[in-house]
Every structure is written in structure tokens, then in C-alpha cells.
């Protein structure tokens, strides 16, 4: 009966389907070669805060060099490919199968399948390579015990709003798996505990999807099986007290199959969105009031079928994903789903190759395009990194210094430099959160984009500074920071008048005198303005962790010397 109804749905979509604009082919950026090359990418890819793309390759069995997978990076044009870390050594640390995650401390975190002290894989972190430190530092944070904890196949790790790491593991036959927390040390809490938040019984199923944190602080995920109908369910857990509850059971029907490896993501409307697999697949919505609705069934001829990874929320509020078969070339597509219109449009198709393998979901780059990987196919048949020209709207900033274009940098003030002037305890480094650009005393400084002045000082040890929040209240809110600047009270007010609106390219102040010489410290923070509790207000303007009374370890800052942020126009003089 199920296949009969699915066939009717297919016939209807074929003869009376939606009119689509012609999708573009994907753009291959890099093709992986056979052994002894790095391996095949199975985990997708992310863009680091330094602008490079980072991904992982799975083990290449039979490799004479005993390659157990790698972490690699490359530029968004496919050049400058480099192996950042190889998973070798004793004990073997396993094979990375899940997507990397960049935490607020600018470090990358991930997991491996197998390996480690107990054979269950490891939870690891790795730093971004820099010119000063080209060898990324790799650290194992936890060895998974496959008997008592489980093994990570698909879920990976995320960072919660409390700065701690969270993930799921699949257990052996006697239990389903676990949801775990691994604390990251802070000034207030230096502990590094590994804690099981919830243990799934065998009847509760296996939690093998990505976790997602909602605006209410709870973690959301899915199981591939278990529950009332044996087809899995959507669950929520509160990380503070481990309270666990089930939100919806999947019924194995056309209107709600099984999510398999796909988790859920919270949309801008606060609802949870995800995919399930009957014959072709559906997109579903779970509202805050518990109402579950299957809102789109895939058309196999145009959109493809077989969504096997969690949807991705774009900065424009749309959701993006990939199908593994069907579509114009019968090899799947990259699609966009508009939650407002409830429509799916294929925006790119995969090439006509017989085998493209596992396709982890795409991720959005800083340039508004999408990036992804396939585990096979490509020029040599061992997978590829690809790009999709998604044209997600991005903002181009105005250059903030009058008459001085991008590229004029003080060598001692580059983004990401580690420095210590004796203000922090020994071994506690401070990271330069922006870039120092040369200027003359009194040079005029301009707002890089329209926004709201959320913080300013006029006379401190840094010579004064201004913080502007842009796109306030929206998912793509971000902050720009202008340090060593005397704010202009006639244009942006003073500290007694907060939340002054400024226009793009509006004059906001002049370069202040400084003992190290006049310059502009300019920072771009890809997050809204936040003042954290128990921190100095001035430090919270970034926000940053602190050591003593001065700032250290900035979070979510990006390198201003990535010139794609800026237009070619210079500010008015």
C-alpha cells in the first residue's frame, strides 16, 4: 500500500509538478586521489574563521602508509590544499567520519570512529595553523569506551551556549547509546569533566544524528529507530539538569518515515525542521506547541530523493540540503527550502557519474555560496570538495579609514597573533581579535555599515573605542569594533546616550594618540553584541573571556584582511 501511494505521489509530481528554474552544475574545487593520498571525505566541510575550508577524510584501508584519515584545509577557490593533521601513531586514533565544529575559542573540534585507547574513537580538538605556528596543535580530549559509552558514527560535536561540548554515541547491542557533555575549562570553572547526560535503552533506539541547540537552551536530536512504532523519534534534553522528553514519534508512514541519520534544526520562526525517509522523503515541521506537519514531499525527477543529513539554516532564513539520487542527472541535487512558501527548489545538480557516494550536507561560506563534499566521484573517483553558487545575500562593508585602503597592516598587530604584556598569568596568552591598520593621528574613521552604537569609551588605556552592532535582532547580526579612536560626540553621541543609530559610511571619530603609535584596531565579530554576567562591561563589549582585569581570548572574531568583506569603494574624506 505504501509503495502504491508513493507511486501516485510520484506520478502527480511528474505530470503536474512545480516549474523550476534550471539548476546549475556544482563547481568541483578539489578531487582526492587514490592511496597513498589523504583518503575520501565523508564529513562535509566548514569555513574556518580564518577563511579557509576545513574538512576530514576517512581511513583508506590498504594504504601502505597506514593512513587513518586526515584533517585538511584549502582555499575557497580550491587552491593551497594542505594536510593539517594525519591520524596516525600509537594507539591509532581512529577515522574521522563527522563534520568539524569551530568553537568560540577559534579551535576546531571533532570525533573519530574507532581507535583510541579503548577502540571506540576519540573526541579531539585542533588549532588553526597560522604563519607563525604552521603546525596545528592536536589534542585528544576523551577516549570513548565502546562498551560503556558507545561510538560516534554520524553525530559529531557541537558547543552549547554554556561553552561546553555536546554529542551522541551509538551503543552496542545491549543499549542504544548516550548523550554526553564534555566541559571546557573557564576562569570560573577550570574542570574538564566528561559526563553522560542520558543513556538510551535498547528500546529507546540509537541517537546517531547531529544535535542542535534551540533558543530555549535545550538540545534537540533524533533517533533512527526505537519508540512506539520502531521508527525513531524527536527528543529534547536540558543540559543543565538532564531532563529528557520525547516530542514526536515517527510512524514509518508516507507522512513520517524515519529520520535515519538526519537531525533537526531550529528555523527563524522557532519551529524545528527536519527530513524523514519514506520512499522519496519529506520535510517536516514541529512547532513549539507540538504540532507535527509533513510540509513537503520530494519530487524524485526534479529535486531528487534520499536526504541523509541534517538541514542547514542559511543566514537568509532558508534551509539547505542535498539529495543522493534522482534529479535531472539521477545523481541528486543541492536544494533550498523556503519555510514561508513551503517550496523546494533545486539550485545545483551533481554530475552524471555512476557513484558519488555519501554526501554530507553543505555549509554556507562567508561569500554567500555553499560548500560540500562527496565521498566518491570527482576526477579520480575518490571524492571531491565542491562549491554551489547559491548567491545568498551578503553584506559588503565600507572600508573604515579615510584614504587608506585594505592591506596596510602593522606587522606587530595581525589578526590572531598571540601576545602577552605581563597582564595575564604565565601561560595565559591573549589573542589579537582584530587587525592593526596604519593611520595618522587625527585620521577620520567611518562606520563600515549602518547599525547601532552599542558601546563606546572616550578616555581609557586604549585611547577610546566604538562598538557597532549591525542587523540588530536578525539571525545574521554581527558587530564591528573600532579601537584607539576618539568617538565624535556630535555624530554618535556620548556614553550617556546609548544605542545611537549610525549610517553606512558615517563619520564616527578620529584616530587617538597611543604610546605604540597611531593606528586603527579594526575587528569583525560574527555574532551580536552581548554583555556577559560576571565580566567587566568593557570586556563584555567584545565579549571576551578575561584574565584578571584585561581582555583575553576573543570569541567569534574573523580576520578583517579577508577582503571579500569590503567593497572596492573608499570612504569619503
Please write the tens of the pLDDT for every residue from 122-160: 999 998 887 667 778 899 999 999 999 999 988 899 999
Which of the four pLDDT bands, split at 50, 70 and 90, describes residue 188?
low
Which of the four pLDDT bands, split at 50, 70 and 90, describes residue 168?
very high
Question: In 3D, which of 539, 557, 559 has the Cα closest to residue 548?
Answer: 539
Rounded CA-CA distance 204/211 in Å is 17
CB 313 within 8 A of CB 295: no
Higher pLDDT, residue 268 or 248: 248
Residue 372 domain-assigned?
A: no
Backbone torsions φ then ψ of 244, nearest 5 degrees: -115, 130
**β-strand partners of 300:** none
Average pLDDT value over all residues in the chain: 79
Is residue 573 predicted with pLDDT exceeding 50? no
Please write the tens of the pLDDT for every residue from 431-451: 567 788 888 889 999 999 999
In percent, how much of the chain has pLDDT > 90?
A: 31
Write the DSSP symbol of residue 377. B
Residue 161 domain-assigned?
A: no
**β-strand partners of 198:** 179
Which position has the grid cell 530523493? Answer: 305
Is residue 3 predicted with pLDDT exceeding 50? no
Residue 317 domain-assigned?
A: no
24-25 and 343-349 as β-strands: parallel, antiparallel, unpaired?
parallel
Rounded CA-CA distance 217/314 in Å is 20
Query: pLDDT value at position 164?
Result: 92
Residue 415 domain-assigned?
A: yes
Which of the four pLDDT bands, split at 50, 70 and 90, describes residue 496?
very low
Cα 475 to chain centroid distance, Å, stands at 14
Higher pLDDT, residue 314 or 515: 314
Q: Which of 55-64, 337-346, 532-541 has the least mean pLDDT?
A: 532-541
Query: pLDDT value at position 54?
Result: 96
Rounded CA-CA distance 268/403 in Å is 40
Residue 50 domain-assigned?
A: no
Higher pLDDT, residue 408 or 157: 157
3-state class (DSSP) for residue 101? strand
Rounded CA-CA distance 60/81 in Å is 19
Which of the four pLDDT bands, split at 50, 70 and 90, describes residue 60?
low
Q: Which of 129-143, 209-223, 263-277 has the least mean pLDDT?
A: 129-143
- Neighbour count for residue 121 (Cβ, 10 Å): 29
The CATH number that applies at residue 545 is 2.70.70.10
219-222: long-range pairs with CB below 8 Å, 24+: 219/160, 219/166, 219/179, 220/247, 220/263, 220/264, 220/266, 220/272, 221/155, 221/168, 221/179, 221/263, 221/264, 222/259, 222/262, 222/263, 222/264, 222/274
Is residue 381 predicted with pLDDT exceeding 70? yes
Is residue 397 predicted with pLDDT exceeding 90? no
Structurally, the chain folds into a number of domains equal to 1
Report CA dihedral (177, 179, 184, 187) to the nearest 10 degrees. Answer: -140
Which position has the grid cell 565579549? Answer: 543
Residue 159 domain-assigned?
A: no
Q: Which of 118-122, 162-166, 392-396, 431-435 has the least mean pLDDT?
A: 431-435
Higher pLDDT, residue 499 or 488: 488
Q: Which of 210-219, 268-277, 486-495, 552-561 has the least mean pLDDT?
A: 552-561
Is residue 542 predicted with pLDDT exceeding 60? no
Query: pLDDT value at position 69?
Result: 84
Is residue 553 predicted with pLDDT exceeding 50? no
Q: Can you say whether residue 327 is alpha, beta or left, with left for phi > 0 and alpha for psi between -120 and 50 degrees?
A: left
Query: pLDDT value at position 66?
Result: 54
Query: pLDDT value at position 132?
Result: 63
Domain that holds residue 538: 411-565
Is residue 16 predicted with pLDDT exceeding 70? no
Is residue 570 predicted with pLDDT exceeding 70? no
Q: What is the 3-state secondary structure (H, E, C) of 192-227?
A: CCEEEEEEECHHHCCCCCCCEECCCCCEEEECCCEC
Residue 571 domain-assigned?
A: no
Instruction: State the average pLDDT over residues 197-216.
Output: 91
Residue 355 domain-assigned?
A: no
Q: Which of 95-99, 109-113, 379-383, 535-539 has the least mean pLDDT?
A: 535-539
Rounded CA-CA distance 41/96 in Å is 9
* Strand ranges (E), 144-300: 157-159, 165-170, 177-182, 194-200, 212-213, 219-222, 233-237, 244-249, 264-266, 272-276, 282-286, 292-297
Which of the four pLDDT bands, split at 50, 70 and 90, describes residue 62?
very low
Element (H, E) at 11: helix 2-15
Query: pLDDT value at position 388?
Result: 94
Q: pTM for this structure?
A: 0.75
Rounded CA-CA distance 327/20 in Å is 12
Instruction: State the average pLDDT over residues 282-300.
Output: 90
Query: pLDDT value at position 13?
Result: 35
Amino acid at each position: 500500500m505504501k509503495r502504491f501511494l508513493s507511486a501516485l505521489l510520484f506520478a502527480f509530481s511528474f505530470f503536474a509538478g512545480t516549474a523550476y528554474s534550471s539548476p546549475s552544475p556544482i563547481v568541483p574545487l578539489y578531487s582526492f586521489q587514490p592511496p597513498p593520498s589523504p583518503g575520501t571525505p565523508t564529513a562535509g566541510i566548514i569555513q574556518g574563521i580564518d577563511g579557509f575550508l576545513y574538512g576530514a577524510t576517512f581511513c583508506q584501508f590498504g594504504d601502505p602508509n597506514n593512513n587513518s584519515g586526515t584533517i585538511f584545509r584549502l582555499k575557497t577557490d580550491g587552491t593551497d590544499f594542505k594536510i593539517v593533521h594525519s591520524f596516525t601513531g600509537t594507539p591509532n586514533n581512529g577515522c574521522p567520519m563527522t563534520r568539524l565544529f569551530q568553537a568560540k575559542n577559534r579551535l576546531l573540534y571533532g570525533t573519530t570512529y574507532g581507535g583510541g585507547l579503548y577502540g571506540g574513537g576519540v573526541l579531539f580538538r585542533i588549532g588553526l595553523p597560522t604563519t607563525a605556528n604552521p603546525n596545528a596543535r592536536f589534542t585528544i580530549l576523551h577516549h570513548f569506551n565502546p562498551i560503556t559509552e558507545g561510538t560516534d558514527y554520524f553525530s559529531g560535536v557541537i558547543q552549547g551556549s554554556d561553552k561546553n561540548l555536546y554529542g551522541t554515541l551509538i551503543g552496542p547491542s545491549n543499549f542504544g547509546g548516550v548523550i554526553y557533555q564534555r566541559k571546557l575549562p573557564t576562569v570560573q570553572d577550570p574542570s574538564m569533566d566528561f559526563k553522560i547526560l542520558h543513556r538510551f535503552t535498547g528500546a529507546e533506539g540509537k541517537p546517531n544524528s547531529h544535535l542542535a541547540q534551540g533558543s530555549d537552551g535545550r538540545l534537540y536530536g533524533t533517533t533512527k529507530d526505537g519508540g512506539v512504532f520502531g521508527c525513531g523519534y524527536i527528543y529534547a534534553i536540558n543540559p543543565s539538569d538532564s531532563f529528557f522528553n520525547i516530542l514526536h514519534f515517527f510512524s514509518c508512514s508516507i507522512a513520517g518515515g524515519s529520520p535515519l541519520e538526519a537531525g533537526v534544526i531550529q528555523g527563524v520562526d522557532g519551529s524545528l525542521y527536519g527530513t524523514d525517509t519514506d520512499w522519496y522523503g519529506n520535510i517536516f515541521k514541529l512547532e513549539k506547541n507540538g504540532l507535527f506537519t509533513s510540509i513537503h514531499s520530494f519530487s524524485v525527477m526534479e529535486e531528487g530523493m534520499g536526504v541523509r543529513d541534517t538541514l542547514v539554516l542559511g543566514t537568509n532564513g532558508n534551509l539547505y540540503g542535498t539529495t543522493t539520487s534522482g534529479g535531472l542527472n539521477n545523481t541528486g541535487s543541492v536544494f533550498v527550502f523556503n519555510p514561508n512558501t513551503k517550496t523546494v527548489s533545486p539550485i545545483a545538480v551533481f554530475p552524471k557519474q555512476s557513484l558519488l557516494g555519501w554526501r554530507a550536507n553543505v555549509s554556507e561560506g562567508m561569500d554567500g555560496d555553499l560548500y560540500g563534499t562527496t565521498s566518491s566521484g570527482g576526477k579520480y573517483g575518490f571524492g571531491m570538495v565542491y562549491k554551489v553558487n547559491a548567491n545568498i545575500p551578503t553584506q559588503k562593508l565600507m572600508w573604515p579609514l579615510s584614504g587608506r585602503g585594505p592591506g596596510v597592516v602593522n606587522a606587530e598587530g595581525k589578526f590572531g597573533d598571540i601576545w602577552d604584556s605581563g597582564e595575564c598569568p604565565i601561560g595565559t596568552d591573549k589573542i589579537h581579535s582584530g587587525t592593526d591598520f596604519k593611520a595618522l593621528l587625527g585620521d577620520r574613521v567611518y562606520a563600515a555599515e549602518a547599525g547601532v552604537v552599542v558601546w563606546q569609551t572616550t578616555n581609557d588605556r586604549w585611547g577610546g573605542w566604538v562598538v557597532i552592532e549591525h542587523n540588530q535582532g536578525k539571525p545574521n547580526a554581527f558587530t564591528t569594533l573600532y579601537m584607539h579612536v576618539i568617538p565624535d560626540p556630535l555624530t554618535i553621541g556620548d556614553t550617556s546616550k546609548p544605542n545611537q543609530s549610525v549610517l553606512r559610511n558615517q563619520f564616527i571619530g578620529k584616530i587617538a594618540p597611543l604610546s605604540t603609535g597611531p593606528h586603527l584596531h579594526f575587528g569583525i565579530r560574527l555574532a551580536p553584541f552581548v554583555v556577559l554576567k560576571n565580566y567587566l562591561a568593557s570586556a563584555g563589549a567584545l565579549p571576551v573571556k578575561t584574565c584578571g582585569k584585561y581582555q583575553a581570548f576573543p570569541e567569534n572574531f574573523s580576520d578583517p584582511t579577508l577582503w571579500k568583506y569590503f567593497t572596492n569603494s573608499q570612504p569619503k574624506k
